[in-house]
Each structure stands twice: as C-alpha cells, then as structure tokens.
Amino acid sequence: MAIREIITAPDGRLRKVLSKPVERVDDALRSLMDDMLETMYDAPGIGLAAVQIGEPLRVIVMDLAGADEEPAPIYFVNPEILEPSDEVTLHEEGCLSVPEFYDEVERPTTCRIKYLDYEGNEQVLEAEGLMATCVQHEVDHLEGVLFIDHLSRLKRDRVLKKLKKEQRLAAAE
C-alpha cells in the first residue's frame, strides 16, 4: 500500500468527467483501492474518489467509523445512486480536494447505492444520514462536481480564489 498525492482545486482534472466504469475487479484494482484507503486515512478523511488521486475510474472508498471505533472500510466500484429521497437534509461537508473549507450542503436524506464490492460482488446498500451524504459527495467527484458547486457562486468563487492564492504562495517557496 502507498499513500498517493491528493489533487486539490482548482486543478482541472477534478472538473472533467473522466471517471470510466471498471470492467472487472482484480488484484490491480484492489491494490488501487488499498492505496486509496491508506491515502484517505492519512489525510485524514472519511471518503475518497479515485479521480482525487488522478485515477479516472469509477471507484470510491469510505470509512465512517469514529476515532474510537474499529475501522470499517467500504469499497464502491461503479457506484450508482438509485432512488434518492425527495426529502433533503443539510450536512456540513468538507473535502480533501478543497482543504480547510467546510459548509452546509443540501442533499437527499436517503438513497440506495448499487455497486460492486472489494471482491467484485454486486451489492445494494440503503443509505441514510452521514452515509447517504458521503456517498453522494463522492459520486459527485466521479461526475466532475465538487461540493462547493452546491454553494452560492460568491462562496464558491471566494474559496477557489483563496486556494489559487495558497498554491501560488506554495509554488514561490
């Protein structure tokens, strides 16, 4: 397993709908998912899409276990969100690709997710609460959407301007 570099906004690779469906779950893909999980834990975060580490595949890893709980990783290959509820909930979100910024985002309260697991078996998960929010956030990444795209244009532009400035300062050092 290896820790990979996480791409941050405003990098254009996060905006392209590049993520291709996975044809089969094999050892190479499991190795990628292991790297993603290690990268996510190191960051630290609770979810990571493959595109965030420069791999344009429809793959997500998540672990919603608390700090005092046993790790409980979930691997989503080719995730599809089915039946999102009409009811919506506000959750504070952050993103490893938009570091140090958090804001409330409105998303469907519940949804079903169809996906292949770590072994390539088809699964369907009923998600609610933080699980529903997180999986929707990560699937957005596969479509080139960042959580800040759900905010007002003013907030989004302010965040992107700050990130560009920080990147310029870091490059100058």
CA-wise closest residue to 140 among 172, 95, 99, 173: 95
User: Is 10 exposed, middle or buried (CB count within 10 Å of its CB: 0-12, 13-18, 19+)?
Assistant: middle
Query: DSSP H helical segments within 74-116, as ranges?
Result: none
Catalytic residue, candidates 138, 143, 166, 173: 138
| HSE-CB of 7 using CA atoms within 13 angstroms | 19
Number of CB atoms found within 10 A of residue 2's CB: 9
- In the residue annotation, 138 being an active-site residue is answered as yes
Contacts of 63 (CB under 8 A, 6+ apart): 37, 40, 41, 46, 47, 71, 72, 73, 74
CA dist 152 and 60 (Å) reads 26
Catalytic (active-site) positions:
138
